[in-house]
């Protein structure tokens, strides 16, 4: 799977979990999403239109998550060299990391984002 598609899927999965697990936190808000992939940024800003059909699909899913959760995302481009997450996500390219819903809730409690929803 190409990196820009992986990054799109990771953002979609994160937003989906937020909408399902903590909808009150995002309703009516603008979430600033920083990405280090210009193709993904362009797709998200155009609500899912590019020559990459798979990424278009992810972009459209993200658009509908915004509608469902009644929030908006603002996408900012960050150069890869300034992406603090790359250090961790690039350590072992063969291993895909993901958060379970339970861990996602727990991290929200730890960071003070929720009260144990």
Please indicate, yes or no, if residue 75 is contained in any of the structural domains: yes
CA-to-CA distance for 29 and 101, rounded, in angstroms? 22
pLDDT at 72: 95
pLDDT at position 71 is: 96
65 lies in a domain? yes
Question: Measured between alpha carbons, how far apart are the two ends of the chain, in Å?
Answer: 33
Task: Kindly report the pTM of this predicted structure.
Answer: 0.71
pLDDT in tens, the chain (117 residues): 666 688 889 899 999 999 999 899 999 999 999 888 888 888 888 765 667 888 889 999 999 999 999 999 999 998 877 766 666 555 555 545 555 666 556 655 555 555 544
Domain count, the chain: 1
* Within a domain: 112: no
Bridge-partner residues for 35, per DSSP? 77
Of 16, 5, 90, 81, the closest CA to residue 39 belongs to: 5
Q: What is the extent of the structural domain holding 66?
A: 3-88+98-104
């Amino acid at each position: 799977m190409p990196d820009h598609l992986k990054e799109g899927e990771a953002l979609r999965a994160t937003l989906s979990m937020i909408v399902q697990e903590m909808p009150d936190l995002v309703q009516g808000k603008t979430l600033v999403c920083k990405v280090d992939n210009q193709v993904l940024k362009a797709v998200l800003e155009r609500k899912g239109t590019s020559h990459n059909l798979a990424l278009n699909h992810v972009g459209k899913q993200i658009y509908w998550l915004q509608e469902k959760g009644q929030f908006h995302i603002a996408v900012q481009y960050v150069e890869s060299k300034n992406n603090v997450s790359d250090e961790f996500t690039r350590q072992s390219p063969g291993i895909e990391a993901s958060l379970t819903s339970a861990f996602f809730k727990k991290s929200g409690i730890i960071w003070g984002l929720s009260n144990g929803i």
